Structure 1
């Protein structure tokens, strides 16, 4: 199976950025059971390197069987094993259900109860997917850990750099800002320069059963999109009702069925008619169980304080951009304070930014390069 020849101008050493003879190398591939990580495994195997697939089981196997839009459970584990068998590589499954629940799922529920808008995918990358897999790959004597993320890794003058994917529609750099320099030195992202259509073509060329498998959704443990149901299952007290209050006048406009149903920037689902202008959720006072609403102009913020920051390489002397939501476009910012080592910093927006929610991440870029970022702890209203 000669997949490498199907990518013009790329050889195995370049694809996995391993110097010397790649046939003497050992590559561990994080296999979720999806098409992306399966193609990475196929490319690694085709390169001549010794290839080992590793899958983390993050859910109860029986309960997850047959679920669509998940990963690392049930049918996905079977798909990963079938791909490994097809490629003739070793494949190991490690039970991480308990750690995943504590580090990701419970934190997800607690963030909603605290009035924050969580991003469990970043928490998962910070914990089970990179920290734990990193240690496993080291224990297996690997030269690198390869994943199916759509980002690019380059060797810069000061060490490895993390860059956005070549295909903007597939870029996953927002979710990987917390990657440490030590992790980036060991990680490889072979798909970062490819469009998704090419990845699927390679899967078909390799005869992989997952070639046409749908992409998994962002929050894998909420397959039906009902976040509130998941939170209620973990924290039954999440259904506590409260008031919907106008943030300017203080008037009580209605009552809600639990703050877990609301997030900053939300307009639908408020069920408070008869207002002179459209109202949005502009804040959540979790301690009082109050949902604060106001006109769109109240969503504008001039700055955000970020905590638990991470930095990847030096901060260059050039204009900086930041993304404050995964689907948002990067906007110009200035950075105040140190970035990295868990320090706090402030980003100031050149123009008011809307829908900036505590609990989300602010990821900072210099051009295509990811500099790091942090969790949004609070915001400063514009004007």
Structure 2
């Protein structure tokens, strides 16, 4: 017999007349708890898992997502809570839209965020369509963000647990998607989610969280890039911002803006950092920390969720960075004070307090120091 459950405390916030709910099940504890929450509403609940890469490569591996053991875990949870579960093969789509893009971005001297591309593509586009085709009234996921009904419609907000907040990775969510999506874990701390899973007798209650990049099992992203782009290890020059030749490098894929370690340049009066990457000339440009200061960034593919919001905002330029005061002038994001570690290929996500206003991809930066321009 299942333990007592308090649905009012953990509200799915599904449409009041919802008859069918599709839950994106990755095989982890978060999506498993969401599936249990959905089933407790009384609506017909269907679990859907997208197989994103080869089963064999992920069998028995911890920290993966949507492959191998994860699919079996999702199926076991679905059986436990008594819901239907379907697996759809999206391996080729994931390879072309996420993994290949990941390699291309590194080859172009940018720092990619594959988790955002995955959410934009297979998770919130293809999975969205699958849920629609199944006749679902909403699609629920285990992401740690909050969906809040505002005066102009659904709004995206940061999670109550700042340590688990995933809003940075969901900035590209469209308004139409947000209207259909539900994020029931946004108001909960992770330990409480695991407690719920244990109370419900779910086998994944103690399962480790998935790693940041699910398709890089050992953290060696360079190996993934080399496999897809054999010329990734072609070397080039390391050049100081003042034009001096400082040495040579072993391939652009080993460097990112803000990096200090691994340059193998000794005997300098002050530490040197990667300031920018010139992919066309295969040059790594380095300079002192002051040269990393950025006054503005040009954004591409801006997604706006803020409606007619026109007040002060903050911008977050890395997933682990703190939001800083800035203003958006067309496609140009201007920082109130110089910002460091702003890398092309990353995202700039815009906030008003806890509300996500939208964001865009960092296409180029403007150096705060004239000599670093």
Specify if TM > 0.5: yes
Match in the other structure for 1:283: 276
- Deviation string 1:175-214 (CA, Å, 9 cap, x unpaired) is 0000000000000000000000110000001111110011
Q: Distance in 2 between matches of 1:380 and 1:149?
A: 33
Match in the other structure for 1:298: 291
Match in the other structure for 1:151: 145
From 368, 372, 379, the equivalent of 2:358 is: 372
Give the 4+ runs in structure 1 shifted more than 6 A: 1-4
Q: Distance in 1 between matches of 2:61 and 2:13?
A: 32
Question: How big is the shift at 1:318?
Answer: 2.1
Question: How big is the shift at 1:18?
Answer: 1.6
- Deviation string 1:209-264 (CA, Å, 9 cap, x unpaired) is 1100111011111121111111001111101011111112x111111110000000
Match in the other structure for 1:340: none
Q: Distance in 1 between matches of 2:61 and 2:191?
A: 24
Q: Is residue 10 from structure 1 mapped to residue 9 from structure 2 by the alignment?
A: yes
Secondary structure in structure 2 of the residue aligned to 1:288 = coil
Given that 1:59 and 1:97 are in contact with CA atoms closer than 8 Å, whether structure 2 keeps it comes out as yes
CA 278–116 in structure 1, closer or farther in 2 if over 3 Å, else same: same
Match in the other structure for 1:361: 347
From 68, 71, 74, the equivalent of 2:65 is: 71
Secondary structure in structure 1 of the residue aligned to 2:12 = helix
TM-score, normalised by the number of residues in structure 2: 0.97
Q: Distance in 2 between matches of 1:81 and 1:304?
A: 45
Match in the other structure for 2:338: 352
How many residues are aligned here? Answer: 369
Q: What is the 5 A alignment of 1:116-131?
A: 116-131=110-125
| Unaligned residue ranges in structure 1 (runs of 5+) | 338-344
CA 149–292 in structure 1, closer or farther in 2 if over 3 Å, else same: same
Question: How big is the shift at 1:160?
Answer: 0.5
Q: Distance in 1 between matches of 2:140 and 2:197?
A: 17
Secondary structure in structure 1 of the residue aligned to 2:45 = strand
Q: What is the 5 A alignment of 1:213-362?
A: 213-248=207-242, 250-337=243-330, 345-362=331-348
Secondary structure in structure 2 of the residue aligned to 1:168 = coil
Q: Distance in 2 between matches of 1:246 and 1:366?
A: 38
Secondary structure in structure 2 of the residue aligned to 1:306 = strand
Secondary structure in structure 1 of the residue aligned to 2:301 = strand
Question: How big is the shift at 1:3?
Answer: 7.0
Match in the other structure for 1:113: 107
Q: Cα RMSD between the aligned structures?
A: 1.3
Q: What is the 5 A alignment of 1:2-81?
A: 5-6=5-6, 9-10=8-9, 14-20=11-17, 25-81=19-75
Given that 2:306 and 2:356 are in contact with CA atoms closer than 8 Å, whether structure 1 keeps it comes out as no
| Unaligned residue ranges in structure 2 (runs of 5+) | none
Q: Distance in 2 between matches of 1:265 and 1:330?
A: 18
Secondary structure in structure 2 of the residue aligned to 1:272 = coil
Question: How big is the shift at 1:4?
Answer: 7.6
TM-score, normalised by the number of residues in structure 1: 0.94
